[in-house]
Structure 1
Amino acid sequence: MNPPALAPTDALLDLRNLSKRYGTFTALDGVTLSVEGGQVFGLLGPNGAGKTTLLRILATLLRPTGGTAAVAGLDVTRQPDAVRQHIGVVNGGMGLPARLTGREILHSFAGFYGLSREQAEQRIAELDAALDLGRTLDTRAGEYSTGMRQKVTIARAVIQDPAVLILDEAASGLDIFARRALLDWVAAARRPGRLTLYSTHVMSEVEEVCDRVAVLHGGRLLAEGTQLELLARTGAQTLEQAFFRLVEQDGAAHAS
């Protein structure tokens, strides 16, 4: 069975007062955010800012402590199975079965989403053209370079053409050529009705590929907008300067 059709919605991501606590530690603190499709949306913050916690909630791997989160109009807590049908996830630590070729891996995942063999082959051909999969398709994953592994990992995540693609530090550990290929693909993949969430602490990646940016620090959402809007809000000349000014303002507010 193919993934169920989505109800019409402008916001592919809708967070309302979303929180996550571990005992006395607050990983997410009342985050409210609405994001429409047709864009690459950046989540910017240092390690420990709450980015990965947020994305794991969206991927239905964690349950929030408070508030709500909806992906493509589907509640992550009440409709987790439906959410999983409409998302793809890539992070820096995902592995591939070493004995399978790229084509076998992609066919296996296509089957999870109800694609026929013919549909899967058509989709693999599309992804080959977009990602230049080349010899990864007929080479066993155990023989892959880092760049080859990341290409197949991305192709696996988008085999069903998900409404929301989650990239969590996806460029981490990549060499310069593999990183370049990833950023080029992310920039080219934006289209109506689809949303890419790009989480990183690398400013240059956000500046290059993201249409809008949310700045997280200490589990709190400090600001959200286009890069120009964030520069105007802070009076900064660069995104890095804007980020540090937002963090400094947040620190001063919580110290008083």
Structure 2
Amino acid sequence: MLRSRVAIPVTALYQAWQAAGLPTMHRALLAQVDFDEGLLESGDVSELERLQRSAWAQLEQYGLAHGGQVHPDLANALRLVVEAGVEYWAFFSLKDGPQQSVLVVSNGQDALRIVLTQDQQFVLEPVRADEAPQALVGALPPTPAGRGNPITLPEEALQQKRQPSYEDTGSFMQQSRPTSTPNDQLVAQLNEIMSQPRTGGGQLFSAKRDHLGRKQRCANPLTYIDTPSGRYLAAKSDGWLRVQPADFGTLARMTATMP
């Protein structure tokens, strides 16, 4: 397992992953790699071979590979990604910025955080296993909580209300009456939040293994939006939507309790 923080290019981590003989990569670690796909389609693998040589050289430069072998500490860290009992990940971005991601995995004893930065680097860092949710949230852009109180609504309250027609009521008089529900004020408050300019945002996910070792992903990810007035968190559950101002503690607590 890694003992300290290390930053390596995307292609270097991919090369180490392949050399360690690991299966399909976690979706939070998938990033765009620039190379000439036309050459590869034509059977010319020279560009791919160049990327592989460069990746190996970078791994050796950082002391993470030698003699064609990945350093055991890095190999064990990547293996933890595959075998973790608990994992949290997020996709996020700042306004007009590229999508970034963060993945935190834990086996109950060891834990690792991997952050994809804007400049296409993976930053790997050991973290405390009992603070995995906090480690995930700590990688997000820091933003203060938004203003106001939590808003809880049935999802059906957000559907466009249809005005009753003559066929529904049998009366033109009833058609002209204004319609309202107890949720209208809350919907208006929610619309006010959602109409603010976005300065950033993201989605947070979790997965855990059951007693048979099967990975169970959360049914409803958390969504956060950053606005000039602060950060808001949206969570869905059993037909209900809850939107609330979210500081670091709120986001970490909600992440830890994702079903």
What is the TM-score when the length of structure 1 is the normalising length? 0.30
Q: RCO higher in 1 or 2 (8 Å CA, sep ≥ 6)?
A: 1
Which structure is higher in helix share? Answer: 1
Choose 1 or 2 for highest CA Rg. Answer: 2
What is the TM-score when the length of structure 2 is the normalising length? 0.29
